[in-house]
Every structure is written in C-alpha cells, then in structure tokens.
Structure 1
Amino acid sequence: MAKWTPTHEAPEPLEGPIVPTIIGGTILWFVLFLAQLPFYGWFDDHGHLWWLWTCLAGSGLGLIGIWYVRGRDAALKRMAAEAAAQGPAAAAE
C-alpha cells in the first residue's frame, strides 16, 4: 500500500469569486425547475418526474451553500483583518 501514498505536497486551494458562483448555480437550478414545471404531466407520464425534483433539490442545496460560503468568506476576511491589525510580527511567527 505504500506505493500508492503520494510523496508530494498538495497544491494550495484555488480561491475565486465563490459566493457569486454559488448564487449563480442556485439561480440556474431554480430557473430549470420553473422551466420544467409546465411539463409536469409529461414528465409524470414518461417516468421522468425525478428531473423536476432534482432541480428543486439543487435549488434547496444551493441555498444552504450560499449560507455556508458567505459565512466562510466572512470568517476569512475577519482572519485577514486580525492578522493585518497585529502587524508583521504576528505574520512571521
């Protein structure tokens, strides 16, 4: 099993506009739900009703994701502000 253990360090995580990305994805899931809603009968007749509920579940999970990433973003900004307030001596430790 030792041959499968990675010998290099993991790369730094990519940071970007996470909050707008999650908001955009949530809006997209909800728009897809609304677009499929008029075809409820067709989906039900053909056994594809799960498509509709998948879009609604994506919207709900997206709302949880928005709450989570906004809190994470606020915590990162608080940590950066505290580090800047303590000065360069704290950053060297």
Structure 2
Amino acid sequence: MTTEKPSKPRVHHLVQAPVKPLDEDGVLAGVSGTIVWLVITIFLGLNLNILETNGHTWWFWTGVVGTSLGIIGTIYVWNRGRKR
C-alpha cells in the first residue's frame, strides 16, 4: 500500500511582462542584410585580382551566394507579409 503525500501548489517567481509583440515581417532585416552582402561582393569583385593571386576567390563567390540568398529571402518574406 502506497501513501501519497499531498502536493503543494507550484509558486512561479518569474512573471512574463505584458509586452505586445513587434509587428515585424522581416523585410527590413532581409533588405539590410542583402545590402551588406551586395557591398561586400562589389568590394571583393573590384579586388578579384588580389584574391586570385592569394587563392581566395571563394570569398567572392561566398558574397555572390550571400547576395543571392538575401534577394530570395527578401522576396519570400515580402510575399508572405503581403498575404497577411
């Protein structure tokens, strides 16, 4: 036979503040990040001969991929926000 102890009610010491969520759709973040990648890619493209000399052309292609993914992501969040 098992005797069960009465359980005490849990007391929570942390309380969630009543803060309204931001009405952010991600377009500003996507555009900002894409612009940064684009500036980096342009800079690396202007210095491509230095990158080729040192064997670091993959830096340029990383910038191209970052810019491309940024454009795709920005279009996605823009369309998602429009459908709301």
TM class, shorter-chain normalised? 0.5 to 0.7
Aligned-residue sequence identity (percent) comes to 33
Moved over 6 A (4+): none
**Structure 1 pair 72/44, CA: closer, same or farther in 2 (3 Å)?**
same
In the alignment, which residue of structure 1 is the partner of 2:47? 39
Higher-Rg structure is: 2
Greater per-residue helix proportion: 1
Could you state the TM-score of these two structures normalised by the residue count of structure 1?
Answer: 0.61
RMSD: 1.9
State how far apart, in whole Å, the 1-side matches of 2:43 and 2:69 are: 19
Structure 1's unaligned 5+ residue stretches are 1-13, 77-93
Q: Report deviation, 1:16.
A: 2.9
- Among 40, 57, 60, the alignment partner of 1:49 is 57
Per chain length, whose mean CA-contact separation is higher, i.e. which structure has more relative contact order (CA < 8 Å, sep 6+)?
2
Aligned to 1:21: 29
Q: Number of matched residues?
A: 64
